[in-house]
């Protein structure tokens, strides 16, 4: 196992190649440690060390064909370090793989899914959001959609990250 604290470029490349979970990019936060395969599997597992557990942030990031072997290798790494392993905020696809491998699971919640072709802010369900936007506008704030693909705002991104 190699520990890389500031090798975000390698992890970002792996995310671009293998990341599919909407929360995959959360593994880039500074509190994470990284597990890389000693068996030369191209992938990364991000985790935090809490008490007796390595708590993994989302799905393992690797090819589908390597996922079972990669998770098995991580599980051995956990045992070697006298740690349990727990995967949280995972996709259904990854949960199904973990079940096949003998992991148990507890469903805590579900990620919301929005069909953006038909989604809008009308109706009572979004009344609170509309009220907050109106309140912000009345108090001199502007509420706009941030579109990083059209134009990046590094200062804003830094503020959000901090």
115 assigned to some structural domain: no
For residues 91 and 18, membership in a common domain is answered with yes
As a whole number of angstroms, the distance between CA 157 and CA 153 comes to 6
Residues 6+ apart with CB under 8 A from 137: 143
For residues 124 and 106, membership in a common domain is answered with no
Residue-wise pLDDT for 73-123, tens only, equals 999 999 999 999 999 999 999 999 999 999 999 988 887 777 778 877 788
As a whole number of angstroms, the distance between CA 135 and CA 120 comes to 19
CB-CB contact of 33 with 46 (8 Å) = yes
**Model pTM score:** 0.67
For residues 147 and 84, membership in a common domain is answered with no
Model confidence at 1, pLDDT cuts 50, 70, 90, reads very low
Residue 20 has a pLDDT of 83
Two tokens, residue 146? 């941030």
Residue 100 has a pLDDT of 96
CATH of residue 68's domain is 3.40.630
For residues 106 and 126, membership in a common domain is answered with no
Range of the domain at 88: 1-110
Among 114, 106, 13, 96, CA closest to 59: 96
CB-CB contact of 64 with 55 (8 Å) = no
Looking at the structure of the chain, the number of domains it has is 2
């Amino acid at each position: 196992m190699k520990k890389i604290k500031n090798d975000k470029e390698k992890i970002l490349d792996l995310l671009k190649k293998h990341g599919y979970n909407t929360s995959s990019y959360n593994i880039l936060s500074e509190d994470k440690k990284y597990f890389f395969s000693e068996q030369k599997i191209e992938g990364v597992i991000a985790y935090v060390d809490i008490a007796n557990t390595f708590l993994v942030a989302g799905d393992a990031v690797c090819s589908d064909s390597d996922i079972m072997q990669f998770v098995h290798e991580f599980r051995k790494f956990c045992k070697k370090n006298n740690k349990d392993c727990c995967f949280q905020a995972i996709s259904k696809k990854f949960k199904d793989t973990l079940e096949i491998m003998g992991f148990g699971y507890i469903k805590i919640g579900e990620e919301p899914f929005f069909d953006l072709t038909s989604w809008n802010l009308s109706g009572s369900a979004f009344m609170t959001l509309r009220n907050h936007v109106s309140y912000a506008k009345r108090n001199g704030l502007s509420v706009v959609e941030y579109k990083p693909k059209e134009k990046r705002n590094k200062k804003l991104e830094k503020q959000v990250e901090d």
